Chain A
Amino acid sequence: KNEVEQSPQNLTAQEGEFITINCSYSVGISALHWLQQHPGGGIVSLFMLSSGKKKHGRLIATINIQEKHSSLHITASHPRDSAVYICAVREETSGSRLTFGEGTQLTVNP
């Protein structure tokens, strides 16, 4: 079992829909990152969380430390949001390295 599990693996939505991507982890963490990767492109950091909730534009990220769970929400989705969304954790015991989920492939159709 992976230390970081994401669901769903693939998600197709219509433009304008509200989208939720989930991340569960099984280890103690000091921080959780949500990343975005476009096809053939680099990786962009969307959020870093250690507690609570953060919002940036149409993106919202929440984390529940007790339940070891985080969600990424996209409101009013748009085709340009189509990308792979990756959850990554910095484990308390690993120092500096990140452990990644497998990613969620999001496709938003016009």
Chain B
Amino acid sequence: NAGVMQNPRHLVRRRGQEARLRCSPMKGHSHVYWYRQLPEEGLKFMVYLQKENIIDESGMPKERFSAEFPKEGPSILRIQQVVRGDSAAYFCASSPLPGHTEAFFGQGTRLTVV
């Protein structure tokens, strides 16, 4: 049973481009959480999704950021028109039940905006 898979591991984008980060949860997990770790800062919650639904997006920046978790395929975190301040590590976690009873994290995607 593979763990939470994130890709790419490293992503370099120029200012103004779009970044797409993918997260495949563990098998049987239908709840996905995205977190962001800015340089020299702690992890911060961004969004919680269930299949085809956004449950809690209270941590998402109001503009340029969106997330989805379709019926088929991975969850996608999309950042439009990236800026230098978006450079960070983005982690995905999944759980089989609501309430994040266990914390299964992916390896993260390290986004660098140049």
Contact = CB atoms under 8 A, between A and B. Distances in A.
Chain A facing B: main interface SS: strand
Nearest to B58: A97
Contacts of B107: 41-42
B60 to A, nearest CB: 11
A35 interface: yes
Most buried by A among B35, B42, B101, B110: B42
A97 B91 contact: no
A30 B95 CA distance: 16
A95 interface: yes
Q: Contact residue range for chain B?
A: 20 to 34
A67 B58 CA distance: 29
Contacts of A103: 42
Contacts of B41: 102
Contact of A96 (B42, B44, B55): B55
Interface in B46-78: 48, 55-56, 58-59
Interface of A: 30-31, 33, 35, 40-45, 48, 86, 88, 90, 94-103
Interface of B: 31, 33, 35, 41-45, 48, 55-56, 58-59, 91, 93, 95, 98-108, 110
